[in-house]
Structures are given as structure tokens and as C-alpha cells.
């Protein structure tokens, strides 16, 4: 006599519970991965110094202050707000504070978009998979940089578009 395998009604509930926990733990996992990586982009050092100059001046720096062959030439204000915020984070919290601030900025855009998708009815499994794929795909470019602030802003903008909020 063959036994029929019955699917317990609790199985889908357990699966849903597990996926909810994975989605809830994703931010901590993402932060752990980012904080365990070494700083590999040496541009951060001049960008932090430029951020300090911006904080001291109270506005973006308009002339090249570092390169001897280009001293005084016009300097485009690229990522100036991120440079100032990152310099302030380092001044307040040291390198540890800066690394945490960078990881929060970098992940914040992903988290905002994932939260917006969930609020609009996306499944927990789909959101967790999308979050994981986006994180893995973007991870090779993740290093401490003021451009991480742009990732937060871009993800937040996409989240706002997804939520279709009215003014």
C-alpha cells in the first residue's frame, strides 16, 4: 500500500514566514557585507579633503585646489553635497562612522525601493529576490565614495515614483 504524501497547510505559512524573515534580515546582511569590505577606491581621500574645504568655505569649491598642473582652473561641482556630507560624517564619527554612513547611503536606495514595492503589493519572495540580485549586481562598484549618496537619492526617487504619491 502506497502512502500519499499530503502537504501540510502549515507548509505555505512556514515558507511565507521564512521569506518574511529573509526580507527583514536583508538590510543587516547587506550592511555586514559592505562593512566587511576593504576600502579600495583611493579617490575617497581627496574627495574627503575637498568636502572639508566645502564645509569650511560654506559652498562648493569652484577652483582646482590640488593638482599642481591645474591649480586655479575651474572645477566642476560634481558630488559636492556628498563630499561635504561624507567629510562631516568622518569628522563626527571617524572612519568607522564614515563607513557606516556610506553603507547606509549605499543600501538606503535599495531599501527604499524594496519598501515601496512591498507597499504596492509585490510579494515578499519577489522583493527579496530583486533586492538580492540588485545588491549582487551593484556590489563590485561599492566602495566608500560620496557617490553612495547618489545611490540613496536615486533609489528614493524611484521609490517615490513607484508609490505614485500626490502632492
74 forms beta bridges with 63
63 forms beta bridges with 74
Query: Is residue 18 in a domain?
Result: no
User: Look-up: residue for cell 545588491?
Assistant: 135
31-60 residue pLDDT tens: 999 899 888 888 899 999 999 999 999 999
Query: Is residue 1 in a domain?
Result: no
CA dist., res. 162 & res. 26, Å (int):
21
Query: Is residue 147 in a domain?
Result: yes
Query: Is residue 85 in a domain?
Result: yes
Q: C-alpha 81: how far from its chain's center? A: 16
The number of distinct structural domains making up the chain is 1
CA dist., res. 155 & res. 147, Å (int):
13
Look at residue 74 and give its three-state secondary structure.
Answer: strand
* Domain containing residue 101: 26-163
User: Look-up: residue for cell 534580515?
Assistant: 25
Query: Is residue 8 in a domain?
Result: no
129-145 residue pLDDT tens: 888 898 999 888 888 88
For the chain, give the longest Cα–Cα distance.
89
Q: What is the pTM of this model?
A: 0.79
Amino acid at each position: 500500500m502506497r502512502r500519499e504524501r499530503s502537504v501540510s497547510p502549515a507548509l505555505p505559512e512556514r515558507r511565507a514566514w521564512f521569506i518574511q524573515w529573509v526580507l527583514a534580515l536583508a538590510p543587516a546582511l547587506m550592511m555586514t557585507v559592505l562593512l566587511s569590505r576593504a576600502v579600495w577606491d583611493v579617490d575617497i581621500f581627496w574627495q574627503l579633503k575637498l568636502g572639508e574645504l566645502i564645509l569650511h568655505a560654506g559652498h562648493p569649491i569652484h577652483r582646482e585646489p590640488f593638482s599642481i598642473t591645474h591649480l586655479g582652473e575651474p572645477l566642476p561641482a560634481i558630488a559636492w553635497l556628498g563630499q561635504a556630507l561624507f567629510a562631516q560624517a568622518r569628522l563626527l564619527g571617524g572612519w568607522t562612522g564614515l563607513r557606516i554612513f556610506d553603507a547606509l547611503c549605499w543600501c538606503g536606495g535599495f531599501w527604499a525601493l524594496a519598501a515601496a514595492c512591498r507597499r504596492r503589493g509585490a510579494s515578499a519572495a519577489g522583493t527579496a529576490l530583486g533586492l538580492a540580485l540588485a545588491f549582487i549586481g551593484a556590489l563590485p562598484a561599492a566602495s566608500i565614495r560620496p557617490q553612495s549618496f547618489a545611490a540613496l537619492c536615486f533609489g528614493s526617487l524611484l521609490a517615490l515614483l513607484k508609490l505614485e504619491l500626490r502632492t
